[in-house]
């Protein structure tokens, strides 16, 4: 179960970290059982995912573990590093109240065709917009860094 207090723990990604409608495409670096310090001082053992990108770690509840299992194609958390996921915020009912929870989209993020990394949003543009823009301009989907390099190299 996810205590609502965990959703507001500043040491972990929560709905507070998202702008309205924002999606965060991230790559899983590690997943494991960790002691989580609650804001009220208590400690609890949780499954926590860390990411390659400079995002805070995410406490994984059952729903999100199932989503990653589907995207990774395996329930084995040791196989999850390297898997790309898209985080977003969904309004859910928990303990009889509506609250915002971080969820994982059932689709894979877009991959940069030059570096193989995940295409993230930048400068107020979503990852979808970056992907569409670069695919049109350079003929292939590129991450913001590779798009910059391509602009310099290809003079576009
Ligand atoms: Zn790239």
Are 66 and 99 within one domain? yes
Quote the ligand 1 centre to 1 CA distance (angstroms): 37
DSSP string, 6-30: GGG-TTS--GGGS-TT--EEEEEEE
The answer on 100 and 115 residing in a single domain is no
How far is the C-alpha of 23 from the C-alpha of 38, rounded, in Å?
25
The rounded Å distance from CA 141 to ligand 1 centre is 9
Percentage of the chain beyond pLDDT 70 is 94
The residue range of the domain holding 120 is 110-156
Mean predicted confidence (pLDDT) in 1-8: 55
Distance 120 CA to ligand 1 centre (A): 10
Segment 50-82, tens digit of pLDDT? 999 999 999 999 999 999 999 999 999 999 999
Q: How many domains does the chain have?
A: 2
CA distance 52 to 65: 18
pTM: 0.86
Ligand 1 centroid from CA 74, angstroms: 27
**pLDDT tens, residue by residue, 92-120:** 887 888 889 999 999 999 999 999 999 99
Cα 139 to the center of its chain, rounded Å? 26
Contact between 88 and 105 under an 8 Å Cβ cutoff? The reply is: yes
Based on the fold, state whether residues 133 and 71 are members of the same structural domain. Answer: no
As a whole number of angstroms, the distance between CA 44 and CA 64 comes to 18
Instruction: Please compute the mean of the pLDDT values over residues 132-143 and round it to a whole number.
Output: 96
Question: Token pair for residue 4?
Answer: 């609502």
Q: Ligand 1 center to residue 138 CA distance, Å?
A: 12
pLDDT tens for 16-49 read 899 888 999 999 999 999 999 877 778 999 999 9
Determine the pLDDT at residue 3. Answer: 55
Ligand 1 centre from 84 Cα, in Å? 14
135-147 as b/e, with b when 16 or more CB fall inside 10 Å? eeebeebbbbebb
């Amino acid at each position: 179960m996810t205590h609502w207090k965990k959703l507001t723990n500043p040491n972990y990604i929560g709905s507070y970290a998202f702008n309205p409608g924002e999606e965060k495409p991230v790559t899983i670096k590690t997943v494991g059982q960790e002691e989580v310090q609650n804001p009220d001082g208590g400690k609890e053992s949780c499954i926590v995912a860390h990411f390659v990108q400079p995002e805070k770690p995410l406490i994984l509840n059952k729903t999100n573990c199932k989503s990653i299992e589907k995207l990774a194609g395996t329930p084995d958390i040791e196989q999850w590093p390297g898997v790309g996921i898209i985080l977003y915020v969904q309004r859910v009912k928990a303990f009889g109240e509506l609250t915002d929870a971080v969820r994982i989209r059932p689709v894979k993020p877009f991959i940069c065709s030059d570096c193989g990394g995940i295409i993230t949003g930048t400068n107020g543009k979503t990852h979808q917009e970056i992907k569409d823009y670069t695919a049109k301009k350079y003929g292939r989907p590129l991450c913001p860094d590779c798009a910059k390099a391509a602009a310099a190299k290809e003079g576009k």
